[in-house]
Amino acid sequence: MEFKIRKAKSEDMPEVLELIQELAEFEKEPDAVIISAEDLKRDGFGKNPSFTCFVAEEKGKIEGMALCYFRYSTWKGKTVHLEDLVVRESSRGRGLGNALYKRVIQFAKDKDVKRTEWVVLDWNTHAREFYNRSGATVFTDWCTVQMEEKAMDRFLQKSR
């Protein structure tokens, strides 16, 4: 099959949202996705876009996507954070994921950043092995920390 990797357009966001939901289900968090296609359109395609998204398209259908954005490291300067990379389960094993991954790395190089980073679940051995083979370092001594909206509210309330 022939596929192409391209920068996403606003009208791609409903299919991108489907992929985000598929990823959430794979990661055993099917109810975690609260954004809408309209949120993605607003946040990714307005005056100051919050992210860049690349899609893998095959026969007019989006079969994969990679969403990334800029961060700033006090050690390295501007970096690219790869938030999610997902290929529909029915399209895996044909090189779409590798092509999306390569496109994100090329995007980072084109933007002259010093690091590209992302997180991977510890139980996702297939992805961890792929990243190691690609030359990335998969850290085991750093822990991801997040604070959800309700926890932020509670923290700020307690801190008054």
73-104: per-residue pLDDT in tens? Answer: 999 999 999 999 999 999 999 999 999 999 99
Instruction: Report the percent of the chain where pLDDT is more than 70.
Output: 99
* 59: DSSP letter: T
What pLDDT is attached to residue 1?
61
Average pLDDT value over all residues in the chain? 95
Vertex 44: Cα angle to 42 and 50 (nearest 5): 110
Vertex 78: Cα angle to 121 and 132 (nearest 5): 35
Q: Which of the following is catalytic: 69, 72, 101, 131?
A: 131
Q: Are 44 and 51 in contact (CB under 8 A)?
A: yes
Q: Is residue 131 among the annotated active site residues?
A: yes
Tell me if the pTM is above 0.85.
Answer: yes
Query: Six-digit token pair at 65?
Result: 């996507």
Task: Give the domain 4-118 fold.
Answer: Aminopeptidase (3.40.630)
Helices 13-26 & 37-45 angle (0-180, nearest 10)? 110
Q: What are the residue boundaries of the structural domains of the chain, listed by start?
A: 4-118
Q: Are 67 and 33 in contact (CB under 8 A)?
A: no
Q: What is the mean pLDDT of residues 41-69?
A: 97
Q: Residue 96: is it exposed, middle or buried by C-beta count within 10 angstroms (0-12/13-18/19+)?
A: buried
For the stretch 129-146, pLDDT in tens is 999 999 999 999 998 899
Strands, E, within the chain: which ranges?
Answer: 4-7, 52-58, 61-73, 77-87, 116-117
Which amino acid makes up residue 96?
L
Q: What is the mean pLDDT of residues 118-136?
A: 93
Query: Six-digit token pair at 119?
Result: 């997180």
Q: Is 125 helix (H, G, I), strand (E, B) or coil?
A: helix
Our CA dihedral for 101, 19, 23, 21, rounded to 10 degrees, sits at 150
* 31: DSSP letter: T
